[in-house]
Amino acid sequence: MTVIRQQDFIDSIEDALQFISYYHPLDYVKAVEKAYLKEQSQAAKDAMAQILINSRMSAEGHRPLCQDTGIVTCFVKIGMGVTWDKTDMTVQEMVDEGTRRAYMNPDNPLRASIVADPAGARKNTKDNTPAVVHIDMVPGDHIEVMIAAKGGGSENKSKMVMLNPSDDIAEWVVKTLPLMGAGWCPPGMLGIGIGGTAEKAAVLAKESLMDPVDIQELIERGPQTTEEKLRLDIFNKVNALGIGAQGLGGLTTVVDVKIKSMPTHAASKPVAMIPNCAATRHAHFHLDGTGPAKLEVPKLEDWPEVTWEVGASTRRVNMDTVTKEEIQEWKSGETVLLSGKMLTGRDAAHKRIQTMLDEGKGLPEGVDLTNRFIYYVGPVDAVGDEVVGPAGPTTATRMDKFTDMMLEKTGLIGMIGKAERGPATVKSIAKHKAVYLMAVGGAAYLVSKAIKQARVVAFEDLGMEAIYEFEVKDMPVTVAVDSQGNNAHETGPAIWKAKIEELDAALSK
């Protein structure tokens, strides 16, 4: 019988969650570097450069890769020969305790994003608990833990289907993926679970994402099994879609496709697909009774030396003086460097603004959106001499339902977020001659370095969802929707899909 100390388990969970908040798995870094070197689309290449620079900065600064530090998902495989030194806590409670300590660590506080009463009050639990824990009893006398911090943007894009037994899984993936938009911050991975029952397929999909990126090895040695053949088929077909990094069009949308399967009912073919984002974060460790797990600290030399410089002709904008007339010249796909003051706001702030305007109360005191830009963000708390913690964009699509009201009633001229806007919102942006700018999702620590001052101006009770005023210097963004309604998330992938077809045709000659 191996005796596992409760304290070792809790300490190991805490350490692993801190570790993955700032260290990308190196297999993911190497895969993005490979994609970056091969990329021909400038917008996608720029986005991957920012992701790689951000990754190295986080590793060096021990600060989160992304402002969304995720929902903790933990697979615990307990050997049948294991016993515990104490029995006053369940495994769920021990994982929660490790989570609580990791997220409230004063040296590197992580953003608490979990809300209780999800169908009602949605009140933040303040310590990012509870974690989602999957427990398996397995043969052996040790404990294996796979733990991840899964971003909401990528989790929100998960899909599930009960296919007919004769249906083609790759066809379903290729048909479904473009409908998921770019809110999952590609380039990333797809986890696919096949078989079992509906809920089991989803768990298999999630667990498959705990495996390392190794598709290049599979390509080199050649697929042997049904799953390996399917992985390659999906990998090639998805990348041929031209969606590219951040959905701006390019050669690489996924750096790997993982599959786990199990037997299923003869009448069923359950399939679940869960994407992993640019903030791929997971760790794997074993406990054998000799103490807490020690994760191997990667060396900074393992990160590529990527630099990213904007061209001399890049448009520089002073947001304090920019006029609506000036933004009419900005073109979809163009890079812009923003300086000056912007306001922030995301889901809860928008909802509250709408209620206040509906009730005839006007905007909250201190908030004037005339000729201003709003940044969709919920930053991590600052530490030390930081102005603000990691502060990358959140998915703009969730703010679509408020956008027409904001443009119509507040004098707002621009928005900054990540991922695409819906068709009605693009029309509204064009109608109001406004613009939507996109920052790179998954480059939050890098973005925070452009923020020189930050202060809360309204809704302080909303915590990370409060309205802040940020003063930024040279914050890089891409014009995603210009004032004529030209949409880079539509044109980019369409152009690159056609280019990839041309490249493939030329190669096969």
**Cβ 276 to ligand SF4 shortest distance, Å:** 8
Cα gap 22→303, rounded to integer Å: 13
**Cβ 278 to ligand SF4 shortest distance, Å:** 4
Position with the least CB separation from ligand SF4: 151
Binding status of residue 154 toward ligand SF4 by CB under 6 A = yes
Nearer to ligand SF4, 46 or 233 (CB): 46
Q: Which residues of 431-464 are buried (b: 16+ CB within 10 A; e: fewer)?
A: ebbbbbbbbbbbbbbbbbbbbeebeebbbeebeb
Binding status of residue 68 toward ligand SF4 by CB under 6 A = yes
**Cβ 392 to ligand SF4 shortest distance, Å:** 6
Question: Binding residue for ligand SF4 (CB under 6 A) from 16, 44, 57, 66?
Answer: 66
Binding status of residue 441 toward ligand SF4 by CB under 6 A = yes
Binding status of residue 184 toward ligand SF4 by CB under 6 A = yes
Binding status of residue 185 toward ligand SF4 by CB under 6 A = yes
Stretch that binds ligand SF4, among 39-47, 259-267, 274-282, 493-501 (CB under 6 A): 274-282
Nearer to ligand SF4, 9 or 22 (CB): 22
Nearer to ligand SF4, 245 or 279 (CB): 279
Q: Which residues contact 375 (CB under 8 A, 6 or more apart)?
A: 342, 343, 344, 345, 393, 415, 416, 417, 439, 470
Q: Could you tell me where the beta strands, DSSP code E, fall in 110-175?
A: 115-116, 123-124, 132-138, 143-150, 159-163
Q: Which residues of 136-153 are buried (b: 16+ CB within 10 A; e: fewer)?
A: eeeebebbbbbbbbbbbb
Q: Which of residues 301-330 bind ligand SF4 (CB under 6 A)?
A: none
Compute φ and ψ for 475, nearest 5 degrees: -85, 120
Could you tell me the end-to-end alpha-carbon distance of the chain, in angstroms, rounded to an integer? 63
Binding status of residue 193 toward ligand SF4 by CB under 6 A = no
Query: CA–CA distance from 500 to each of 187, 480, 506, 507 (Å)?
Result: 17, 22, 10, 10
Binding status of residue 417 toward ligand SF4 by CB under 6 A = no
Query: CA–CA distance from 224 to each of 68, 127, 212, 228 (Å)?
Result: 38, 45, 18, 6
Binding status of residue 153 toward ligand SF4 by CB under 6 A = yes
Question: Binding residue for ligand SF4 (CB under 6 A) from 49, 201, 209, 279?
Answer: 279
Binding string, residues 457-486; x marks residues near ligand SF4 by CB under 6 A: ------------------------------
Q: Which residues contact 347 (CB under 8 A, 6 or more apart)?
A: 398, 399, 465
Nearer to ligand SF4, 147 or 322 (CB): 147
Nearest to 12 by CA among 131, 99, 90: 99
Count the residues of the shown chain that bind ligand SF4, applying the rule CB under 6 A: 14
Binding status of residue 278 toward ligand SF4 by CB under 6 A = yes
Would you tell me which residues interact with ligand SF4 (CB under 6 A)?
Answer: 66, 68, 151-154, 184-185, 277-279, 392, 441-442
